[in-house]
Amino acid sequence: MFKEISDPIHQFIRVYPDELEILDTFTFQRLRYVKQLGVTYMVFPSAQHTRFEHSLGVMNLAESIYVGLGYKDKKLMKVIRLAGLLHDVGHPPFSHTTEVLLGDKSHEKVGKELVLSGELNERLKKVGFSQEDIELLVRLAFKEPKDEEERVLSHIITGELGADRMDYLRRDAYFCGTSYGFLITVEYLVIWKE
C-alpha cells in the first residue's frame, strides 16, 4: 500500500508506509518552510519551492536510478529511498544562504546527527530498520561510504549524476522559469543508462 503525492516535476511520487512515518515527524515537516534557493524568490518570485518537495523528488529519482542500474535487493532499495528522502534534513532556514550560521557544522553534519539520534532514529527503528541499516542510510545520504560498493550507492543520491542534482536542476529551472535544468537532466539520464 502507498500514497501518491502530486509533484510538478515527477507527476506522482509514491510514498510507502515506512516513509510516511518519516514524513510525519516534526524534523522532516520543518523542511516545508526551508526555501530550496534561499532568498532567490526575491528575484524570481515563483522560486518558492522548499527542501520538502525536493527531498521527495530525490527519493523518487534515487529509486529509478537504483532499479535502472540493475539492483534488485528490496531492503536496500528502501534504504536508498530513505537516504534520498533524508539527505537534506539538516538544512537551516533559507538553506545555503544561512548555513554560515551553523559555525563549524555543515547541513550534512547536522543531518547525520538528526538521523542517528532522536525522533528520526526512533521512527526508523519503529518501522523495522536496524541500527546497522540506519548507519548505512547515513553513509549513503551524507557522502561517507566505507567501501567501493557503498561509494556507488552513495553516488546514486549525491554523485555528479545523482538524484539530488537531477532533481534540483529540473525543480529550480521549473520554478525560476528557465530551461537550462531540463536539458541537462535529460543528458544525465542518458549517461546513467549507458
Determine the average pLDDT of the residues in 28-46. 70
Mean pLDDT, the chain, whole residue set: 84
Domain count, the chain: 1
pLDDT in tens, 106-118: 657 778 999 999 8
Radius of gyration of the chain (CA): 16
- Identify the domain containing residue 39 by its residue range: 3-193
Residue 172 has pLDDT above 90, yes or no: no
> Closest Cα to residue 60, out of 178, 171, 176, 187?
171
Average pLDDT over residues 88-103: 62
Question: What is the grid cell recorded at 186?
Answer: 535529460
Q: How far apart are CA 31 and CA 146, in angstroms?
A: 28
Residue 171 vs residue 98, higher pLDDT: 171
CATH number for the domain spanning 176: value is 1.10.3210.10
Q: The whole model's pTM is what?
A: 0.85
Grid coordinates of 123: 521512527
Whole-angstrom CA distances from 175 to 50, 99, 150, 184, 187 are 11, 22, 33, 16, 20
- pLDDT above 70 covers what percent of the chain? 76
pLDDT average, residue stretch 70-76: 95
